[in-house]
């Protein structure tokens, strides 16, 4: 069985735990605890260590999804989780521009640590005043002349919205291993999910 470990990271309330709960085929192992500080204004609970879920994408291939905490006090978990990751998704809440500075910090940190396939998943784009992808790219410090990662809208509450993002990562991974592999069977069957 081939296991691809995918880290789902991003700031508080971006939708990391929700994404993993929505797509996982097993009961998610989560470490959400009741929020007691200023976080309580945003939502009731927050991840303090990690989330874990699994999705089988082909006969002998599955994705193991690891969600990080979003709060800065648990930032050491980003380091622990990213070391063994094959790819990662940075979820960015397009409706909370005040979190973009922190998202930029996570992105910078991860790219210093690893060089692996990744993408930016924009959440909360259903809010009328959500930021546009181009503005978020600028705020994250992405350089348009320097081939930046895919930016994909994701609604973490909807499996159909999550699958294209996961497919994109699997395709990036396959292309890294062998540029001819974009036609491999797991990608084709995954696309039909």
Ligand X SMILES: Nc1nc2c(ncn2[C@@H]2O[C@H](COP(=O)(O)OP(=O)(O)OP(=O)(O)O)[C@@H](O)[C@H]2O)c(=O)[nH]1
Label residue 10 left, alpha or beta by phi (over 0 means left) and psi (-120 to 50 means alpha): left
- Cα–Cα distance between 48 and 65 in angstroms, integer? 16
Please choose, out of 10-18, 75-83, 162-170, 179-187, the segment that lies near ligand X by the rule CB under 6 A: 10-18
- Cα–Cα distance between 121 and 98 in angstroms, integer? 17
Please choose, out of 21-29, 40-48, 54-62, 163-171, the segment that lies near Mg ion by the rule CB under 5 A: 40-48
Please choose, out of 107-115, 135-143, 153-161, 167-175, the segment that lies near ligand X by the rule CB under 6 A: 153-161
User: Whose Cβ is closer to ligand X: residue 122's or residue 169's?
Assistant: 122
Q: Does 17 bind Mg ion (CB under 5 A)?
A: yes
User: Whose Cβ is closer to Mg ion: residue 62's or residue 71's?
Assistant: 71
- DSSP secondary-structure letter at 172? H
Q: Does 124 bind ligand X (CB under 6 A)?
A: yes
Tokens read off for 5: 């470990």
Q: Does 157 bind ligand X (CB under 6 A)?
A: yes
Q: Which residues contact 51 (CB under 8 A, 6 or more apart)?
A: 8, 16, 17, 20, 21, 28, 29, 30, 31, 32, 65, 66, 67
Tokens read off for 187: 């990608």
Please choose, out of 15-23, 76-84, 103-111, 139-147, the segment that lies near ligand X by the rule CB under 6 A: 15-23
Identify the residue among 70, 117, 121, 149 touching ligand X (CB under 6 A).
Answer: 70
User: Whose Cβ is closer to ligand X: residue 69's or residue 117's?
Assistant: 69
Q: Does 126 bind ligand X (CB under 6 A)?
A: yes
Q: Which of 80, 124, 122, 84 is nearest to 103 (CA)?
A: 122
Identify the residue among 4, 24, 47, 140 touching ligand X (CB under 6 A).
Answer: 47
- Quote the strand ranges of 59-107, DSSP E: 61-67, 87-93
Q: Which of 72, 25, 49 is nearest to 166 (CA)?
A: 25
Site size for Mg ion (CB under 5 A): 3
User: Whose Cβ is closer to ligand X: residue 16's or residue 86's?
Assistant: 16
Q: Which residues bind Mg ion (CB under 5 A)?
A: 16-17, 47
Site residues (vs ligand X, CB under 6 A): 10, 12-18, 43, 46-47, 69-70, 123-124, 126, 155-157
């Amino acid at each position: 069985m081939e296991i691809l470990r995918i880290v789902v990271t991003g700031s508080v309330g971006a939708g990391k735990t929700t994404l993993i709960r929505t797509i996982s085929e097993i009961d998610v192992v989560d470490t959400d605890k009741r929020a007691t500080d200023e976080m309580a204004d945003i939502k009731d609970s927050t991840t303090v260590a990690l989330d874990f879920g699994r999705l089988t994408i082909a006969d002998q291939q599955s994705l193991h999804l690891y969600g990080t905490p979003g709060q800065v006090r648990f930032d050491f978990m980003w380091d622990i989780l990213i070391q063994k990751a094959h790819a990662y998704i940075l979820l960015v809440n397009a409706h909370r521009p005040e979190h973009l500075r922190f998202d930029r910090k996570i992105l910078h940190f991860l790219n210093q640590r690893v060089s692996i396939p990744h993408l930016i998943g924009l959440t909360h784009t259903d809010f009328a005043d959500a930021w546009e992808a181009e503005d978020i790219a600028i705020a994250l410090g992405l350089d348009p002349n320097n081939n930046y990662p895919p930016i994909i809208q994701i609604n973490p509450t909807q499996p159909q919205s999550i699958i294209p993002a996961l497919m994109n990562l699997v395709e990036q991974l396959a292309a890294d291993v062998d540029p001819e592999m974009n036609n491999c069977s797991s990608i084709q069957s995954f696309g039909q999910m």
